[in-house]
Structure 1
């Protein structure tokens, strides 16, 4: 996201106040003193600054660490043994951190723990590490060489793209912790003790670090890197710690400065007047309105879930149903496809809590490809799996897989009374695929059927498609990468993936209008729905339900409860008239 530095022109602000911009997490505005936590060494390949080029990687790492951080080993076997030991230790640490964490945070840490303890990781590191040779077959490992090896493994994952590409940052976090154990704390910016009533400033914030933050003593966080859907943002949201991430000019903020952090607008104001508060301010979006979009039932707030624990969390957070069940959790890590009976048992456990109220539960059929390989799905490796065989395209490649899942869902629907079970297919590209899915699902005995809108071709043909389905759900994460022609793992091009893009918003508005014309509900179930400010715009564009991570429900509900439908429509029109995502976010934030 572009940074808008310069003097503030907002009312009531001192003329010397400077504004920095990033991605907001949460709704509460807070002010406090900056405490800078460590200095993250620059990663190779320009991952932080975007200015690195071939040939200067080594110089970057050298400048961060120097040549003094090194360990001598008796040979490569001794090096392998030590790396294996440290990876096991890191895995145990991450497992321990996840034990008492909220479910979504625990899932992230547990996934990282599994990666750290994967025995193939040692082989991949040794294939990339370049220890300095010494006499008598000894070798010397320098910190810079170890970090470079981890980054090369991460780069390999990014090149695959898709789900595997998303694991690249996990490798970087694991590498930082391994380096800490081998060479002493430097990489992972350990947080030694709480900083009461402080706003912590990080150059980079890992999932493990974020999970250890104490909301009772830390009133806010600013991170120079990252995005609104990254691990750090998700964890900060779950801890209810206001934050601005992806703020590239954060390094300009001096240690000890008083700042105003306004996540609703994605703003950091340096030099803001006022004392450091003893507690966080309440949201400034306004009071509850009897004519708000929630009071008038203009939109439903649903949850995205990927496990039974997520479904329970959704209930506890007051979700009005489930807008997206990611069924991959039932299939991943299995040598054999789960039987129909096992699927029925799992779906029933997930759905039953929502039966008494008749709330909707929307299940997405299996969405895997060569980037999320399953042992029982024989798919050849693809250079770009995000554009390959995945989602509905598995039908012709793996006969019977979708039919058995649909059978399990139909049996679950028959067993669980009072449930509003809806089923949708991912990665639909053509009207022919829509017809095939609908025919297959109806033959299985399923009623309410829908599609994911992720592919621009389907979005452009939605007028013809809408009458064929009962509902549609816009997956903004994939839609943005296909619409803008940018890999969703390309962190250096994150601005192009911002769902605040007026082009994307106009497309979403057009889809909502076509849905209304055909009397087909259109929802948003991507990360865009978790942004409280963007939620106002989406509702104003005509979206009838928003499905998000359960921890975001309270913040989105609070904002929408203070905005009328008339105002939401005006703000939506204001946003789509802007030139870019930065301007759209800014103008709506200022209007609020």
Structure 2
């Protein structure tokens, strides 16, 4: 039996869990003894057949996905398995003499490097690509595919990382918690675990070795603590933490506000009309981010005005008179669209993405704004706000505002995701009605660190003092112009960071729907003056760790039960 071991990672989904270990079957890897290909054409046909089987399997899983967003991810991964570029790469490696499994491995590595270079959404798809590689390799070798084992009892999943195909079909009744060695705060695994309310810790180094022969494991998904072979007192402490968390959440309902009545709207991030209909049933005040790009991705042609209008109308109707903030198409070189290919770029993450694509393909924006206006007319009681992504200058803000208002949209705003927009927030806000801060991208661009690279998680923390400093500048612009500033990044769902954001001047917080109760409870434990003091401490700190510690020390002791 293993000795008791305590490990630490990054907590990405609050809550506690303990139970037996269920180890996700690892990838089998290349067949080191396979012969070189002597018939590339025949081997290519065999591999294409395997990739088609993998695609069909993923499509079948999509039908049983636990959310519409998960279904979309699985369908996109299934399409990637039949990608012509990947297949051409496999043929190229076979012609070099590589064996079947090595040909897939090398072709995928070349493709993955290209996706990483693109950054953004396409960099996120590297995980999908590796999942395809591992499933295809296992089929070629006649071995079990990697994935979640059959679970006879509720257990804690442990894996190097979880592919979207696995996270999308998790059974909440059997998965008590999730622990991974890889991943980051914005990975598929982290986001889905938070949506499902499953405690989760990522970047837990050494977990694979530590659980060998371990009978059980325990974790605190709020702080990222993992205990291998916990003793009775460990389990009792975790159960007590769960009890205290439930008590802290009790009565968390209604409008968001600090203890002394300072109002803060609490909203949901959504990606589809189905997401809207589910979130609208919850106790929250609307949606602060409708990611409209899900309508556009993995299509041969842009959706029609009528199709878009129908989707937006469903979302608005679901929320009634509550606010719905729609982000216009956030695509471009980092989320390439077959019908809007602007060509290769040297550094696509800093290229023509977001609003820059809309300026190059104004027809796409014109249709989207027309559809949004039609949806607003179809649901006259709706509070529809529209914002543009990746705005960096006053000219860009003005360009978007003129077109949105000409289309008949009354409430027009911009995303603050670049340091340029944050520093010049007052001037930018003079052109529009509101701004919403995307903390994920703002952190990435402020710290010059790819947010999809788990090894850079420390740099990407919203506690890095430079990030709240950027947010403060944005809020000062809001105060100077009388315009509302919101946050729709992952930071808004952290109960402790939420207090800092409110203290900085943020008026609304949008997050995964499952995080609203904890944030609302945290706000009601503190008055606005304390939030402002916390904000000052976060900005003035010398380090990220120092910032979080200073804020935590100011917080009500009950708050730790919400983390």
CA 395–130 in structure 1, closer or farther in 2 if over 3 Å, else same: closer
1:360, distance to aligned residue in structure 2 (A): 0.9
- Secondary structure at the counterpart of residue 178 of structure 2: strand
Alignment of 1:196-235 (within 5 A): 196=153, 198-235=155-192
TM-score (norm 1): 0.81
Counterpart of 2:13 in structure 1 is: 26
Q: Does 1:427 align with 2:390?
A: yes
1:187, distance to aligned residue in structure 2 (A): 6.6
Cα distance in 2 for partners of 1:35, 1:564 equals 43
CA contact (8 A) 1:28 1:280 kept: no
Deviates more, 1:115-124 or 1:423-432: 115-124
Counterpart of 2:139 in structure 1 is: 181
Counterpart of 2:479 in structure 1 is: 516
CA contact (8 A) 1:340 1:407 kept: yes
1:438, distance to aligned residue in structure 2 (A): 2.2
1:196, distance to aligned residue in structure 2 (A): 3.6
CA-to-partner distance for each residue in 1:413-445, whole Å, 9 max, x for gaps?
233211111111222111122223223322332
1:530, distance to aligned residue in structure 2 (A): 3.5
Unpaired segments ≥5 residues, structure 2: none
1:65, distance to aligned residue in structure 2 (A): 5.8
Alignment of 1:95-134 (within 5 A): 95-100=59-64, 101-128=66-93, 132=97
Cα distance in 2 for partners of 1:269, 1:588 equals 26
CA contact (8 A) 2:486 2:508 kept: yes
1:202, distance to aligned residue in structure 2 (A): 1.7
CA contact (8 A) 2:182 2:454 kept: no
Q: Does 1:76 align with 2:40?
A: yes
1:151, distance to aligned residue in structure 2 (A): 2.2
1:459, distance to aligned residue in structure 2 (A): 0.8
CA contact (8 A) 2:417 2:441 kept: yes
1:471, distance to aligned residue in structure 2 (A): 1.1
CA contact (8 A) 1:574 1:588 kept: yes
1:364, distance to aligned residue in structure 2 (A): 1.7
CA 431–83 in structure 1, closer or farther in 2 if over 3 Å, else same: same
Cα distance in 2 for partners of 1:151, 1:65 equals 13
Counterpart of 1:535 in structure 2 is: 498
Cα distance in 1 for partners of 2:549, 2:22 equals 27
Cα distance in 2 for partners of 1:237, 1:576 equals 27
Q: Does 1:437 align with 2:394?
A: no
Unpaired segments ≥5 residues, structure 1: 1-15, 42-63, 134-139
TM-score (norm 2): 0.85
- Secondary structure at the counterpart of residue 478 of structure 1: helix
CA contact (8 A) 2:118 2:348 kept: yes
Cα distance in 2 for partners of 1:510, 1:432 equals 19
CA contact (8 A) 2:180 2:204 kept: yes
CA 124–562 in structure 1, closer or farther in 2 if over 3 Å, else same: farther
CA contact (8 A) 1:537 1:571 kept: yes
Q: Does 1:282 align with 2:242?
A: yes
Cα distance in 1 for partners of 2:150, 2:287 equals 39
CA contact (8 A) 1:292 1:562 kept: no
RMSD (Å), alpha carbons = 3.3
Alignment of 1:89-168 (within 5 A): 89-100=53-64, 101-128=66-93, 132=97, 140-141=99-100, 143-168=101-126
Q: Does 1:472 align with 2:472?
A: no
Cα distance in 1 for partners of 2:437, 2:550 equals 24
